[in-house]
Chains A and B, each alone.
Chain A
Amino acid sequence: MTKVEMTVNGKSVSGDVEGRTLLVQFLRDGLGLTGTHVGCDTSQCGACVVHVNGVAVKSCTMLALEADGADVSTIEGQAAPDGTLNVIQQAFQDHHGLQCGFCTPGMVMSAAALLKDNPKPTEAEIRHYLEGNICRCTGYHNIVKAIMAASGQDVGAVAAE
């Protein structure tokens, strides 16, 4: 066991981990932050996306020890302290961008990373960026729409909710 220290959602945390402990395991089992999900074993589905030092990372593909000293942000840290949803979260609710909710944390974190780099992405850019996030429920229609809306674009022309 090795001691690991990092900042998660603005709080300093530490814990003892094995060399093989994945970042997602440390977040879920070590810190009880179960909002980050594991949907596959092959770094394909994106349910585990978090931000490490401001960059979107699949936390099932990074060892906890690699995140030693890092600044980690997860889905639990996205809303305001009073519970107010951030603009992306709110857009997902407004536009029905989630159903079962399992892929949602990863979608929201990926969307945040996209909008940071590209504040007004086109539909095609959003779809391309979400290559690493699989949703089985929504057919992506309302996810893409929500991200467009979160970026301040008018989605009135996109047919149904």
Chain B
Amino acid sequence: MPKDHGIGASNKRREDVRFLTGTGNYTDDINVNGQAYVYFLRSDVAHGRINKVDTSDAEAMPGVVRIFTGKDFEGVGGLPCGWLVTDKHGQPMQEPGHPVLAQGKVRHVGDPIAAVVADSLAQARDAAEAIVLDIEELPAVVNMKAALADGAPKVHDDLANNLCYDWGFVEENKGAVEDAFAKAAHVTTLELVNNRLIANPMEPRVAVGDFSRATGESTLYTTSQNPHVIRLLMGAFVLGIPEHKLRVIAPDVGGGFGTKIFHYAEEAFCTFAAKALNRAVKWTASRSEAFMSDAHGRDHVSKIELALDADNNFTALRTETYANMGAYLSTFAPSVPTWLHGTLMAGNYRTPLIYVNVKAVFTNTVPVDAYRGAGRPEATYQLERVIDKAARELGVDPVALRRQNFIQPDQFPYATPVAVEYDTGDYDATMDKLIEIADFSGFDKRLAESKARGKLRGLGVNCYIEACGIAPSNLVGQLGARAGLYESATVRVNATGGIVVMTGSHSHGQGHETTFPQVIAEMIGIDESMVEIVHGDTSNTPMGMGTYGSRSLAVGGSAMVRAAEKVINKAKKIAAHLLEASEADIELKDGQFSVAGTDKSVAWGDVTLAAYVPHNYPLENLEPGLEETAFYDPSNFTYPAGAYACEIEVDPDTGKVTIERFAAADDFGNVVNPMIVEGQVHGGLAQGIGQALLEGAVYDENGQLLTGSYMDYAMPRASDVPFYSVDHSCQTPCTHNPLGVKGCGEAGAIGSPPAVVNAVVDALQRAGKPVTHIDMPLSPARVWAAMNG
């Protein structure tokens, strides 16, 4: 019987009612009395020297309040980078400045040059057209390898070159890895591109800055996954506003997928301008602006080599990756190709020796940072593609080759050669489940049916593992993070027993308002309707790091559990007093405190009332009230893992690929709300299928973004994907967080691209085509060209 409440129940989402009735409160729905509007004049060249920005005509236009340029920000801090990567020689990465408005040079199409504030958006836009720009266009660097060539134009004149860092991991293993390759019975090599993507949450970014002269307090409403992080970065590093004078509110946020983690220039501008003008300033991105100002994702060019012995055991792995940083370092950009990527190269396998080299490169493109999965999809794609290629070269079953090299259940905790320790897992179990739900046994029949219709059919399989629940602060601190990565929660119990949980996590589609109360309800034995979740406002939530890296339940939920435990411990003391019993004998079940072995009990609500009306209360030993805060810093990452299978058809006449079936068997540890977990996987799968078949941000050689709208950038539509078959019944609970949960938000996007590509290669090879790889996205043109190569 499925549970009908508490942990494990598929509770319907309470947040749905407002979203289904048009009563959500997204940032663009917020209007402050008297607000002005800002329009950013952005660079239409990828690289240029700003000789002059003449705003005199524009300033005289109707409704214009003021026009800001880079000069107005000369005394203001730049946008900070939150992660310092150290290169293979022990030197810090090259870290360029990132001004709020361009100073001296523009470095990518979309770089903001001037900000026109006017009474209406239309007036701001009209006035921007009257700004006279004198920009001397410079040669742009777009291709990463070209950017590293001698004499290449420099994105940042004050840096030595366009190399941000050259990272080796683990540098000490490099020699041993080379020895292992020299001794290998077989080496499989694959060069591949992890295509550049644009996250595209459906809600474009919005910022509304406000300022009160009465209190001296600045307020920023923004589309953010982590309002406290924005407050810290913007307040401390850009504008010099202390936290107690800066309030950041991220209300309902229409999707994030990573790109709303980062601190953006528009947020700083609106906050700055509101104070300068003593008037609220609002910015709403158009989708075109989103394409050229939201941080992009992926964009790796890699070579991976896998060494095997004569028995097909993996003996070593070596990768070299060029990772695009774009023109500036976005908030967490340097960590993505390194600590979120190199550490995952062991995958689900016992490969004893691994060496990862990553060269991060500046180019005249939009900054690149975390997008759903962030580094882990890139690692998984390389690894699972090279294993598939190896299996085909060796003539062995790709599933059998994987199974043979799996880390075995009795090997956990398992320390990989790339610095992480997996706590639990059972990779054969998820593979067994996959084979069942994907109906491998029926494949031959479906293959024959496809053939009868003149179509090619293929089956692709892969595994994945990810490190999420980000993360232990002391560990990430050693790795260069300039922030802690704990999470926080305050559990406030009201006098009549209702509970408000103020969490540092942020929900922008994940359903925290539904799932977090399920945990509290389970712990206390009360109905979920007695619990409310507050999030997204720095003024009424404890300092928290927000939501990304599949961390909300694993880290934020754990903080909530810790705070609730404190509440329960105190409530037991009160109950013991009321029941005239020893605290050690008090048990809490179904919302009743009882004395063990007796029929004496007192209800939750009686205890909470006593806490706030402490007439009969141990005041000499215990403070009144019932409210506790906890900060939870995990001791390790969590390691969700699974096995995915994709079945595709290829139209041999056109090269068009259709996804016929997709199955995902995941191990997320314990699951609080199965319905929501499955929804998270579905969404990740569509994004991964989108990457594999449709999506790709394309720049021309001059740095012009050719995919600047939904007419050019192919988002997955309903007809591009099938019904998915997903399963999370294989559960090896996390051993180090109190809920035993691992996180599920990114898995689908991490695990699905290699399954799709493996399936297409499988289909083409079954048809006798000597195709070993096609780079994503597998557009009809690319597939047709590969088939007819």
Contact = CB atoms under 8 A, between A and B. Distances in A.
A35 interface: yes
A123 B724 CA distance: 13
Contacts of B203: 37, 39, 100, 102
A120 interface: no
A98 B19 contact: yes
Interface in A118-161: 123-124, 126-128, 130-131, 133-145, 158-161
A89 interface: yes
A58 to B, nearest CB: 12
A104 B678 CA distance: 18
A41 B201 contact: no
A101 B682 contact: no
Interface in A27-53: 28, 33-42, 44-45, 47
A44 B21 contact: no
A139 B254 contact: no
A130 B726 CA distance: 23
Interface in B704-729: 709-711, 715-719, 721, 723-727
Contacts of B719: 124, 127-128, 130-131
Contact of A100 (B22, B508, B721, B723): B508
Contact of A42 (B254, B682, B711, B726): B711
Contacts of A135: 202, 718
B508 A140 contact: no
Nearest to A155: B723
Contacts of B675: 96, 161
B26 A37 contact: yes
Contacts of B287: 39-42, 45
B29 interface: yes
Contacts of B23: 35, 76
Interface stretch (B8-16, B477-485, B532-540): B8-16
B254 A40 contact: no
A47 B202 contact: yes
Interface in A59-94: 74-76, 78-79, 83, 85, 89, 92-94
B20 A92 contact: yes
Contacts of B680: 99
B709 A100 contact: no
Interface of chain A, main secondary structure:
loop
Contact of B22 (A103, A105, A134, A143): A105
B679 interface: yes
A130 B717 contact: yes
Interface string B729-748: 00000000000000000001
A20 to B, nearest CB: 7
Given A39-B202, A93-B12, A161-B10, A100 B254 contact: yes
Interface string B225-268: 00000000000000000000000000011110100000000000
Contacts of A83: 21
Given A131-B717, A134-B202, A134-B715, A85 B21 contact: yes
Contact of B122 (A20, A89, A142): A20
A138 B567 CA distance: 36
B347 to A, nearest CB: 24
B724 A141 contact: yes
B330 interface: no
B723 A131 contact: no
B710 A136 contact: no
A100 B202 contact: yes
A57 interface: no
A134 B201 contact: no
Contacts of B715: 134, 136
Nearest to A124: B719
A23 interface: no
Contact of B683 (A38, A42, A123, A139): A139
B122 A18 contact: yes
A136 B19 contact: no
B788 interface: no
Contacts of B679: 96, 99, 137-138, 141-142, 161
Given A76-B21, A96-B675, A161-B679, A103 B202 contact: yes
A78 B13 contact: no
Contact of B24 (A28, A101, A144): A101
A112 interface: no
A56 interface: no
Contacts of A142: 679, 682
A74 B201 CA distance: 22
Contacts of A75: 20-22
Interface stretch (B423-431, B520-528, B605-613, B684-692): B684-692
A101 B16 contact: yes
B380 interface: no
B529 interface: no
Contacts of A102: 24, 26, 201-203, 254-255
Given A100-B508, A101-B254, A102-B255, A138 B683 contact: yes
B756 to A, nearest CB: 14
Contacts of B77: none
Contacts of A139: 682-687, 716, 721, 724, 748
Contacts of B19: 98, 100-101, 104-105
B744 to A, nearest CB: 13
A136 B678 contact: no
A146 to B, nearest CB: 10
Nearest to B688: A139
B200 interface: yes
B310 interface: no
A126 B717 CA distance: 11
A16 to B, nearest CB: 13
A160 B13 contact: no
Contact of B21 (A79, A123, A128): A79
Given A37-B203, A105-B22, A128-B719, A93 B17 contact: yes
A36 B22 contact: yes
Nearest to B14: A93
B13 A93 contact: yes
B286 interface: yes
Nearest to A104: B19
A95 B715 CA distance: 23
B225 to A, nearest CB: 11
Given A99-B255, A159-B724, A136 B200 contact: yes
B204 interface: yes
5 contacts: A96-B679, A134-B710, A139-B686, A140-B716, A140-B721
Given A104-B20, A127-B718, 12 more contacts: A37-B28, A92-B16, A92-B20, A94-B12, A100-B252, A102-B24, A131-B719, A138-B682, A139-B682, A140-B682, A159-B723, A159-B726
Interface of B: 10, 12-13, 15-24, 26, 28-29, 122, 200-204, 252-255, 257, 286-288, 508-511, 674-676, 678-680, 682-687, 709-711, 715-719, 721, 723-727, 748
Interface of A: 18, 20, 28, 33-42, 44-45, 47, 74-76, 78-79, 83, 85, 89, 92-94, 96, 98-105, 108, 123-124, 126-128, 130-131, 133-145, 158-161
User: Which 10 A-B residue pairs are closest in the complex by CB-CB distance?
Assistant: A35-B22, A101-B19, A102-B254, A139-B686, A100-B509, A44-B710, A99-B509, A139-B682, A75-B22, A34-B29
